[in-house]
Amino acid sequence: MSQSLNDLIQSSQVPVFVDFWADWCGPCKIVAPAVKQLAQEFTGRMIVVKVNVDQHPAAAAQFQVQGIPALMLFDKGKLAWRTAGALPYQQLKAEVLKVLAG
């Protein structure tokens, strides 16, 4: 998973939004609808990927995930933005729009 995720980040023509989460994580469940809404709103302009840290610990380690949910936005293969914890949809959207505008 970590290699294919890295390949996607490096080769994508559009920004890649990654949500590192786990089933047992309360804040992950809180932010999930906002992440889904981003995926729907930015279809074709951004790729949204959800990575379960319990199933893919190597990916979490590779991207230095310390706490979840860990949200990262990559543009042209580089990390453009990251945060840990649940943020409201409007705040997530604002970060996405900054990257898309750049």
Q: Which of 2, 23, 6, 17 is nearest to 87 (CA)?
A: 17
Helix (H, G, I), strand (E, B) or coil at 79: strand
Active site residue ranges: 25, 28
Helix (H, G, I), strand (E, B) or coil at 90: helix
- Give the global pTM: 0.95
**pLDDT tens digit string along 79-94?**
999 999 999 999 999 9
**Distance between terminal CA atoms of the chain?**
28
Res. 3: pLDDT tops 90 = no
In the beta sheet, which residues pair with residue 43? none
Local confidence band at 28 (pLDDT 50, 70, 90 cut-offs):
very high
What six digits make up the tokens of 54? 């319990």
